[in-house]
Structure 1
Amino acid sequence: MVNDMRATWSPDVIDRKVMESIARDAGVVALKHFSSLSNVQVESKGHLDLVTAADREVEALLTASLLEAFPADSIYGEEGGEIRGTTGRTWVIDPIDGTFNFVRGGQNWGISIGLFENDQPVFGVIYAPVRDLMLSGGDGYETQMNGIAMAALPPLIPSQGSAGISFHPSVPTADRLEVVRFVIEDLDFAFRMGGSATLSLIEVAMGETDGYVSLGDSTWDVMAAVPILRNLGAVHSVDWKNTGLDEKLRWACGSEDFLKSVTPLLEKMNAAQTGRTHV
């Protein structure tokens, strides 16, 4: 269930400062819209699944900046942007993860830029503009927050356990209730629901929670955070070699003890999903 495979990658082609600058520039654009929310045009992609002009403008900036820095790489973006390159590397981007929070004036949203190569996430930058939190790291790069190396994840203390959880709007109510029941009853953990995978995974990195469980994340929600967290000792349950970039994830990430504790839940949730698809 645990996946922590390293990709064969030459990290010297990535300039951390350049990548963080791209994320910060995207944050400036997003904050411009955030500061004038009454004028933001909001469209609906589905129930509680929103897209704004800010998403599109930020993704356009990210795409242009990445193409300038890495003209031969592929780009895969949440808002429909897909550009095929020739290197075998793909930048997977989420311009604003936590759009629902964004349009309501909340702080829990962020920008995610992850690099996918050899069937693995290998490098990431995530930026939460309102909180001015910049995290980056991956294979060959220590994980840093605002330029300072981050400490390893703390050990899991079950009596103080805390989990971040998240559900895509399409997830059946019964599955959502089972996740909450398992966390608070079987594990006796506290839980948080922040409405943004990126911010929930930042909380794991900062030791505010022991791990994260989600039913329905997209790959662009988590691609940057996975290598950032891996450097801190985190493991996860995604089999990237057999997971398409367009798939929804039923997964968990955190310390080894956290992942072990939620593995029965993941097995049950994945079995339930498989059963429905075969009905």
Structure 2
Amino acid sequence: MTVTPADANLARDLVVEAAALAAGIRATGDLGTRAKTNVSDVVTEADLAAEALVVERLDRERPDDGLLGEEGTSRDGTSGRRWVIDPVDGTYNFSTGSDYWCSAIALAEGDEVLLGAVAHHASGTVLVGGPGLHTTRNGEPLTPIADAPLAGLGAATYAHPGFIGSGAGFEAWVRAAALPATIRMLGSGSMDLVGVAIGRLGCWFQHSTPDWDWLPGTALVAGLGGAAERIDAHGLVWSVAGPRTAVREIGDALRGSVA
């Protein structure tokens, strides 16, 4: 299915508005933060309000499309398309005063992502792109992602011991993490993938990634000729994005096909 300029404009507007609303709520100092699954997996009133804002507009402008939001929105559509919403990605960062957070959205058809948009309120930037739509930053085309081996790149991941686990899954992560020039853990999947798109980070990998943390950013990477793959290895589904050679090398390491 072809993405229209109206789809791209809507995605851009939605994330800019959601990020501005969330930032405004944070500025009041009354976030109402509470834990979801653990002390660093939190939700705030800003997350809920921003998701409600996005859903209200999509209900009005795309009533036939399905919806999936991190904060509980779920609706089957009739068009075959689905909007995947992350109203505040990097909520722990957001709730503790860091500006490494964003609002993100993706449009998908089945398992195929069509479009992604990510707004970083602190810098006033919004990226929009997809497999058939060259990725832009504030309307200006970005440079395509050059192919590169993993050894010269920084890689972002999620390295909390309780999340990485143990056994074969942990060993797979260690093999992959040993290959890049350095490892970063920054706390927002979509922001990390923006970093891959603009060249601030080399690549990204993580297992058990929900669609709202994966699809918006990988659309941006795909719109610049990069690779984005989901890899089954040792009972886990790993999400990997970056230059094609680096993604292949990470995949080989996760599967255990390299020393």
TM superposition score category, shorter chain reference? 0.7 to 0.9
Kindly tell me: are residues 196 and 91 of structure 1, through their superposed partners in 2, closer, same or farther at Cα, counting changes over 3 Å? same
Alpha-carbon shift at residue 192 of structure 1 (Å):
1.1
Mapped contact 2:128–2:220 kept (Cα < 8 A): yes
Mapped contact 1:122–1:227 kept (Cα < 8 A): yes
Kindly tell me: are residues 208 and 180 of structure 1, through their superposed partners in 2, closer, same or farther at Cα, counting changes over 3 Å? farther
How many residues are paired up? 251
Return 124-133 or 198-207, whichever deviates more: 124-133
Mapped contact 1:167–1:217 kept (Cα < 8 A): no
Q: Name the SS for the 2:64 alignment partner.
A: coil
Unaligned runs of 5+ in 1: 1-8, 243-247, 269-279
Kindly tell me: are residues 33 and 163 of structure 1, through their superposed partners in 2, closer, same or farther at Cα, counting changes over 3 Å? same
Alpha-carbon shift at residue 176 of structure 1 (Å):
8.1
Matched, 1:150 2:150: no
Q: Counterparts of 1:195-214 in structure 2 under 5 Å?
A: 195-214=187-206
For 1:256, the equivalent position in structure 2 comes to 244
Kindly tell me: are residues 210 and 81 of structure 1, through their superposed partners in 2, closer, same or farther at Cα, counting changes over 3 Å? same
Mapped contact 1:75–1:92 kept (Cα < 8 A): yes
Q: Counterparts of 1:88-237 in structure 2 under 5 Å?
A: 88-156=80-148, 158=150, 160-167=152-159, 170-172=163-165, 178=171, 181-183=174-176, 185=178, 187-237=179-229
Q: Deviations over 1:177-225 (max 9, x none)?
A: 646643554x252111110101110110011222101123211111111
For 2:45, the equivalent position in structure 1 comes to 53
Quick one: distance in 2 between partners of 1:64 and 1:175?
A: 44
For 1:26, the equivalent position in structure 2 comes to 18
Quick one: distance in 2 between partners of 1:134 and 1:158?
A: 27
* TM-score, normalised with respect to structure 1: 0.82
Q: Percent identity?
A: 26
Q: Deviations over 1:136-194 (max 9, x none)?
A: 01244221011100111133255532111125754415678646643554x25211111
Kindly tell me: are residues 158 and 28 of structure 1, through their superposed partners in 2, closer, same or farther at Cα, counting changes over 3 Å? closer
Amino acid at match of 2:36: K
CA-atom RMSD, angstroms? 2.3
Alpha-carbon shift at residue 68 of structure 1 (Å):
1.5
Mapped contact 1:183–1:189 kept (Cα < 8 A): no
Return 121-130 or 149-158, whichever deviates more: 149-158
Unaligned runs of 5+ in 2: none
Quick one: distance in 2 between partners of 1:129 and 1:188?
A: 30
